[in-house]
Homo-oligomer: A and B are copies of this chain.
Amino acid sequence: MSDAGTARKPNPLPKLLAGIGEKDASKILEVANSTKLLAGQMILTGGERATRLFLLKTGTVRYYRLTHEGDEVLLGWLVPGDVFGLGTLLGSTTAYLGSARTVTECELYVWEQERIRKLAETYPQLAENSIRIVLEYLSGLATRHVGLVSRSAEQRLADTLLSLGRRTGIVHSWGVDVNVTNEQLGELAHTTPFTASRLLRSWKQAGTVSKKRGKIVIHMPESLVMD
């Protein structure tokens, strides 16, 4: 969302509550249940009836689908402020369209269906914000999809690393720290950790990045722009 700013960002108003007065927003948050989950725990499973809406307060969540063979395909990487389980807002029953699991320890706001639907009646802005959010998810997935069919593994990896740097990177004078393993990066870019390792090596040799275990430092972001 915001471009390369300072290291730690404050907690801005989540998109779900955009355009709602601060007082009302607090009220909405107050009636939510708060949960804390450890790393690696299931939050919801694709296909289940959507009965709860989630807003991620802290931590990282993996949103994915299972293939027919049981492999996980990443659909999105959720960060604080992101909402999921939006089917809950609908009157008729819908199913969650993917599964969600915590990657790190997480804090979540949770609303039961009945409650959030009542809130949506009071605050129509909630519905409008939801449309915007789902459209953004759709656009993001479309971008990933187009990238997958039209760009090389190297281009996808570079794109992924750059966008990760923008979203979650920590800016220093010597570059941008990105905390991510080769495997995670590879998955986001739809490639294998092997290919990721090889490409990172070539970029390291060019001085574009440097690596530690579980961390990549981008020194020359402009070298990663591949048209």
Contact = CB atoms under 8 A, between A and B. Distances in A.
Interface of A: 19, 65, 67-69, 71, 73, 75, 86-87, 89-92, 94, 97-98, 121, 124, 127-128, 130-132, 134-135, 137-139, 141-142, 144-146, 148-151, 190, 227
A67 B146 CA distance: 7
B127 A73 contact: no
Contacts of A19: 91
B148 A148 contact: yes
A67 B150 contact: yes
Given A89-B131, A138-B137, A151 B97 contact: no
Contact of A142 (B65, B139, B148, B151): B65
B135 A86 contact: yes
Contact of A90 (B69, B131, B138, B141): B131
Given A146-B67, A150-B69, A135 B97 contact: yes
20 contacts: A65-B142, A67-B146, A69-B150, A73-B145, A75-B145, A86-B131, A86-B135, A87-B135, A91-B128, A92-B132, A121-B124, A124-B124, A127-B131, A131-B134, A138-B138, A141-B141, A145-B145, A145-B148, A148-B149, A149-B190
